[in-house]
Amino acid sequence: MRKYIFLFGFIALGFNLFISGCKGPTGPAGPAGETTVINLDGFKEGIKCGECHNADSDTIYYVTAKKYQWELSKHAWGGDFERSSSTCANCHTTEGFVQAMQGKTVTSHVDASPPGCFACHSPHSTGDFSLRSVAAVTLLSPIQGVADAQFDYGKGNLCAQCHKPRSMSPKADPSKTAMTDTITITSSRWYAHYGVQSQMLMGTGGFKFADYSYTGNSNHTDNTTIKKEGCIVCHMTDATAGSGIAGGHTMNLEYESGSSLTNGCKTSGCHPSSFTVDYIGASSSLTGGLGSHTAVEAYLDTLKNLLLDVNVVNKWNVGAQQAWIVEGTEGFTINAGSGSKALKIRPASRAGALFNFFFVEHDLSKGSHNTRYAIELLKSSIAELKKL
Ligand code: HEC
Ligand code: HEC
Ligand code: HEC
Ligand code: HEC
Ligand code: HEC
C-alpha cells in the first residue's frame, strides 16, 4: 500500500512541476524522509516538461513516435539487459552506460534497463536530444602485432561506444606460422564479443594471413558521408511513409515484410534509386559477380563446414580429434573449454580461420558494412584450411 501512496505522490509531484515549471537544478526529490530519488544526470534549470511530455503537441521532438520506434528495436526487446554485472553493464544497460560515460566506476545493476533514451541522450539535463557522446572510440585489437584503432565516424561514434570489441586472450597471431607454434584456446568464446560492426566498417580487427594479399576496403570505409554520420546514415534513415516499420529509432534496415530499407543507401552522391541491398560493385571480381549478401553467406557456409569437419581440422589439432566449432541452442560457438577440453592448434596462425568465421558472422551485415574486407577474410580463411 505504501508503495502506491508513494507512486501517486511521485506522479502528483511530476504533474505539479509540469504546471509550475521546474526550477531546481536537481529535479524532483522524493517525499521528505521517505526516500531519496537518485538522479543520474539531474534536471536542467528552467526546462519545460511539456515540450516532451505532451503527446498532444508532440511535433517538436515526436517523443511519442520515437518511443514506439525504440520499443520495436532490439535495444528494447533483446532481453540481454540482464547482463548487468559490472563487466557487462556499460554496454548492456542504460545505468552502466551512463556511469561509463561520466567516467565513473561501472557497478552491477540488479534493477537495470536496456539501452534506452537516457543512454544515448540526456534530455532532462540538457533539455534536448543532443547525443550523450560523439567522442572518437578506441577499438581494442584482438590481433597480435596490430595496434588498437581509433574509430572516428561522427555521430556513429555513439554507436561504437557499445558496438565495439571486448578484449580477447590469447590474441590471434598471424606471425606464428611454424608447426612448433601452438595456440591453446580454453574458452568457447574466443572472439572479440559481438559488436564488431565498428571494426568491420573501419576495416580492422580481422585476421590477415601472412601469405595472402589483401586489397583493402570497400567504399564505405572512407566515404565522406559515412565518415560524418557513421552508422546513423544507414540505420536511422527515415522509412518511406506508409511502407512499414524500419529505420529511425528501430535502427532496423529490414521492414517486417522482409524487404530492405535502402533510403540511407540512396543518399545523394551514394547509390542510385534502382539500388538493392544484395549489391556488389567494385568487389564483384572477388565473387564472380554474386551479390554481396549471397556471396558472404555462401563463403560463411563453406567455412563453417570446414570448421565442422574433423577430417580437415584434425591436421592442425594437437591431441584430441575435435571439430573447431559446435552448434548449440544459440548458434555456433567454439568447441573449447578449460583443462582437458582445451583446443590446441598448430601452427597457431591457422586458428585465424576460426577467428575470422566469428568476426564476419557477428558483424551480421552479410558484407554490407565492408564487402571487400569481409569477402577477402573469408576467402583467405577457406584457402588456409584447404592447405595440406
Ligand atoms: C527534452 C525532453 C524532455 C523534457 C523537457 C523533460 N523530459 Fe522527462 N523524459 C523525457 C524522455 C524522453 C523520457 C523517457 C521516455 C518517456 O518515459 O516518456 C522521460 C521520462 C520522464 C519520467 C519517467 C516516466 C516513466 O514512466 O518512467 C519522468 C517522471 C519525467 N520524465 C519527468 C519530467 C519532468 C518533471 C520534466 C520537467 C521538469 C521533464 N520530464 C522534462 C524527456 C523529457
Ligand atoms: C549503450 C550501448 C549501445 C549503444 C550506444 C548502441 N547500441 Fe545497438 N545494441 C546494443 C546492445 C546491447 C544490443 C543487443 C541488445 C540485446 O540483445 O538485448 C544492440 C543491438 C543493436 C541492433 C540489433 C542487432 C541484432 O542482432 O539484430 C542494431 C541494429 C543496433 N544495436 C544498432 C545500433 C546503432 C545504429 C547505434 C547508434 C545509433 C547503437 N546501436 C548504439 C548496445 C548499444
Ligand atoms: C563493449 C560493450 C559490451 C560489453 C562490455 C559487453 N557486451 Fe555483450 N554485447 C554487446 C553488443 C553491442 C551486443 C549486440 C551485438 C549485435 O547484436 O550486433 C552484445 C551481445 C551480447 C549477447 C547476445 C548475443 C546474441 O547472439 O544474441 C550476449 C549473450 C552478451 N552480449 C553477453 C555479454 C556478457 C555476459 C558481458 C559481460 C561479461 C557482455 N556481453 C559485455 C556489447 C558489449
Ligand atoms: C542507441 C542510441 C539511441 C537511443 C536508445 C535513443 N536515441 Fe534518440 N537519437 C539517437 C541518435 C544517434 C540520434 C540522431 C539521429 C540523426 O541525427 O539523424 C537521435 C535523435 C533523436 C531525436 C531527434 C533529435 C532532434 O534534435 O531532431 C529525438 C527526439 C530522439 N532521438 C528521441 C529519443 C527518445 C524519446 C528515445 C527513447 C525512446 C531515444 N531517442 C532513444 C540515438 C538514440
Ligand atoms: C552503408 C550503410 C551502413 C552503415 C554505415 C552501417 N550499417 Fe549496419 N547494416 C547495414 C546493412 C545493409 C545491414 C544488413 C541488414 C540486413 O540484413 O538486411 C546492416 C546490419 C547491421 C546489424 C545487424 C542487424 C540485424 O538486424 O541483423 C547491426 C547490429 C549493424 N548493422 C550495426 C551497425 C553499426 C553499429 C554501424 C556503425 C559502426 C553500422 N551498422 C554501419 C548497413 C550499414
- Asked if residue 21 has pLDDT above 50, the reply is no
* H/E stretch holding 2: helix 2-20
Q: Is the pLDDT of residue 28 over 60?
A: no
pTM of the complete model: 0.93
Average pLDDT over residues 322-340: 93
Domain extents for the chain?
167-222+280-385
Q: Which amino acid does the sequence have at 223?
A: N
Q: Across-strand partners of 143?
A: 172
Across the range 276-296, mean pLDDT stands at 94
Note whether 123 and 52 are within 8 A (CB): yes
| Ligand 1 mean position, distance from CA 153 (Å) | 29
Helix, strand and coil content of the chain, in percent to the nearest 5, comes to: 40, 5, 55
Report the chain's terminal Cα–Cα distance, integer Å: 73
Query: Could you tell me whether strands 149-151 and 325-328 are parallel, antiparallel, or unpaired per DSSP bridges?
Result: unpaired
CA of 194 to the centre of ligand 3 (A): 6
Segment holding 151, helix H or strand E: strand 149-151
Q: Give nearest CA residue, ligand 3 atom 41.
A: 88
Quote the CA–CA distance of 197 and 144 in Å, as a whole number.
20
**326/316 Cα distance (integer angstroms):** 17
Task: For residue 55, name the pLDDT band (cuts at 50, 70, 90).
Answer: confident
Name the residue at shortest CA distance from atom 36 of ligand 2.
Answer: 159
Mean pLDDT for the chain overall: 90
pLDDT tier for residue 214 given thresholds of 50, 70 and 90? very high
Q: Report how many helices (DSSP H) and strands (DSSP E) the chain contains, helices first.
A: 15, 6
